[in-house]
A and B are shown apart, each in its own frame.
Chain A
Amino acid sequence: MIKNFLLGASIAFKPLSLVYILFGVIWGIIGGALPGITGSIAMALLLPLTFKMSPAAALMMLAGVYIGAMYGSSITAILIRTPGAPASAVTVIDGYELHKQGKSGVALGISLYTGTIGGLFSIVVLIALAVSLANIALAFGPPEYFGLTVFGLAIISSLAGKSMIKGLISGVAGLIIATVGMDPFSGIPRFTFGSEELLGGIDIIAAMIGLFAVSEVFVQVSEKGTWEKVSSKFSARLPNWSELKETKRATIIGTILGTIIGIMPGAGGTIASFIAYNEAKRWSKQPEKFGQGSLEGVAAPESANNAVTGGAMVPLLAFGIPGSNAAAIMLGALMLQGLRPGPMLFQNNPDIVYSLFVGMIIGNIFMLLVGYLILKPCIWIVNISKPILMASILALVTVGTFSINNSLGDVWVAYLTGILGYLMRRYDFSPSAMVLAMVLGFMVETSLRRSLVLSYGSFACFYTRPIALTLIILAVITLLIPIVRSIRDATKKNRAV
Chain B
Amino acid sequence: MNMTDIIIAVILIIIAFFYHYATRNFPPPSAIENLGAAFFPNLLALILVILSILLIIESILLERAKKAKTVIDSGERLEEDSFAVETLSYPHLIGTIVLTGLYIILLPPVGYLIVTPIFLIVLIWFLGTVRWLTNILCSVLLTIILYILFHTMLGVALPSGLLFSR
Contacts and interface: CB of A to CB of B under 8 A. Distances in A.
Given A49-B154, A172-B47, A190-B26, A269 B79 contact: yes
Given A225-B87, A391-B123, A493 B75 contact: no
A270 B74 CA distance: 16
Contact of A425 (B30, B81, B126, B157): B81
B92 A222 contact: yes
A223 B112 contact: no
B32 interface: yes
A209 to B, nearest CB: 13
A165 interface: yes
A467 interface: no
9 smallest A-B Cβ distances: which pairs?
Answer: A387-B127, A270-B79, A222-B93, A457-B34, A403-B156, A387-B128, A391-B123, A160-B78, A183-B37
A394 B100 contact: yes
Q: B27, B58, B127: which has the most chain A beta carbons within 10 Å?
A: B127
Interface in A373-399: 385-388, 390-392, 394-396, 398-399
Interface in A120-167: 156, 159-167
Contacts of B78: 156, 159-161, 167, 266-268, 430, 432-433
A188 to B, nearest CB: 6
Nearest to A185: B33
Given A165-B54, A218-B97, A223-B89, 11 more contacts: A85-B79, A163-B58, A176-B19, A176-B45, A186-B33, A222-B88, A271-B79, A408-B107, A425-B81, A430-B81, A493-B70
B89 A169 contact: no
B14 interface: no
Given A392-B120, A399-B112, A408-B104, A222 B48 contact: no
A402 B149 CA distance: 13
A484 interface: no
A408 B106 CA distance: 11
Given A392-B142, A411-B104, A176 B41 contact: yes
A395 B107 CA distance: 11
Describe B's contact surface by its main secondary structure: helix
Nearest to B91: A222
Contacts of B37: 183, 185-186, 188, 190
Interface stretch (A247-255, A353-361, A444-452): A444-452
16 contacts: A38-B79, A165-B51, A169-B51, A172-B44, A176-B45, A190-B23, A212-B80, A219-B83, A385-B128, A386-B127, A388-B135, A394-B96, A395-B116, A432-B80, A449-B39, A452-B33
Q: Which label, helix, strand, loop or mixed, suits the secondary structure of the A interface? A: helix
Given A388-B135, A403-B156, A223 B84 contact: yes
Contact of B27 (A175, A186, A218, A411): A186
B87 A224 contact: yes
A431 B81 contact: yes
B57 to A, nearest CB: 9
A13 interface: no
Interface residues of B, number: 81
Nearest to B123: A391
Contacts of A191: 19, 22, 41
Interface in B38-58: 39-41, 44-45, 47-48, 51-52, 54-55, 58
B80 A40 contact: yes
A427 interface: yes
A431 B143 CA distance: 30
Interface in B107-133: 107-108, 112, 116, 119-120, 123-124, 126-128, 130
Contact of B85 (A169, A268, A426): A426
B17 interface: no
Contacts of B12: 169
A268 B83 contact: no
B87 A223 contact: yes
Nearest to B104: A411
Nearest to B121: A391
A41 B37 CA distance: 35
